[in-house]
Chain A
């Protein structure tokens, strides 16, 4: 029976990896659509989201089956329950990519407000964080998970930079730019929220591997990162 259960766990791992891959792709495509001001690419992101929603349901069902039929304990219990939570976070990340795509649809037929500099940086950071969070889960790599969590402040800083530029340099000076500026501001907000979800995933990875709850205890991560106790 154990071999069969291990195979089921390996399948679940693969499904999460697949969902993570599709989610990464969704972010990439939504940001590409923004840069290219392409309604067509944006529509594609919205259509592709269905696959991710279906995967979330399939993963949830698989986890429920594993809980009911195998009644896992210890690391296996933590793995299955965290897989459920992580699939929820991935689905939310994909929804945020859809939100970005919707902003692209709003902006596509309007003149470009400004060259995009910090938003692509924030997008690249979000993509890296999602990729590393998935890697941390699949490889059960808590060090990587801790590194990703600590990068969340970079995302906050970039979001703040975009926000102050759009408000001070555009909306305040020329209110007619507000609809486009607010759309870009929302894109930055969506990307920053994506980073927040990746930190959730990484916190779940740490709980899964070490059985330690690090949620809301950032000081523990800083301590670890600085090489030990105070």
Chain B
């Protein structure tokens, strides 16, 4: 069942067209990987899914993006509610320079949940869901920046999980991590997909092949090919995908 339906999406930065007629459906509670060369629209596309591009001047968008059947570019859309529903994990872990506790409950406070008991329950649940609870339960008032890179990334995911989103957007979430930490985040993604729909942008093709069920290949703002990951990586239909995967691109 699809949760996101994108139809003929175009995005312009001024006169430059960064996305061209993108049409695809993202399946619910599956991991979808977006691959392609740098500057070909993967991250731009990811950011259209929670309207992060709205923050950039001179951006024009046409086409439609529906999440759970609702057009997120409708005039009545509450951006705060949209970003609660569609959270984003960035390339570099970006915890606030606050305590671990304050980082996780930050989203709850923003959404008006101030009851301490509820906050603590949700804090523990979200830290447990990213397997960080046992590591930090005795130092919740410690500054989050003292954690390792991989722990910080898991904390950032917990910070999203606490507001119970439906979709997690991950933009190169492991590129700043070593292979062991990457493996932990990948295992976590595998567990998280039971609850969330995950879309990951990655330059690591082995990672895309390992973690995702669906893969889309972007080139020069176009979605060249989209399909089941094993089909894309073993028998891509488009010769441009084949050239990219075999390193004969360009």
A-to-B contact residues, CB < 8 Å: 1-2, 5, 71-78, 210-212
| B245→A71 contact, CB < 8 A | no
**Given A2-B247, A2-B248, A5-B247, A73 and B235 contact (CB-CB distance below 8 Å):** no
B121 within 8 Å of A (CB atoms) = no
B241 within 8 Å of A (CB atoms) = yes
Task: Tell me the nearest residue of chain B to A72, going by C-beta.
Answer: B246
Minimum CB–CB distance for B35 against chain A, Å: 11
B233 within 8 Å of A (CB atoms) = yes
| A74→B242 contact, CB < 8 A | yes
CB contacts (< 8 Å) of A73 on chain B: these are 205, 209, 233-234, 245-246
How many B residues touch the partner, as a band? Answer: 10 to 19
The complex places the Cα of A223 from the Cα of B55 at a distance, in Å, of 56
| B234→A78 contact, CB < 8 A | yes
| B245→A74 contact, CB < 8 A | yes
Q: Which 9 A-B pairs have the closest CB atoms?
A: A211-B235, A73-B245, A74-B245, A74-B242, A76-B246, A2-B247, A73-B233, A74-B246, A74-B236
B206 within 8 Å of A (CB atoms) = yes
CB contacts (< 8 Å) of B209 on chain A: these are 73
Minimum CB–CB distance for A79 against chain B, Å: 10
Interface string of B202-239 (1 = CB under 8 A from A): 00011001000000000000000000000001111000
Report 17 cross-chain contacts, Cβ distance below 8 Å, ordered by A residue: A1-B247, A2-B248, A5-B247, A71-B206, A73-B205, A73-B233, A73-B234, A73-B245, A74-B233, A74-B245, A74-B246, A76-B246, A77-B233, A78-B234, A78-B235, A210-B235, A211-B236
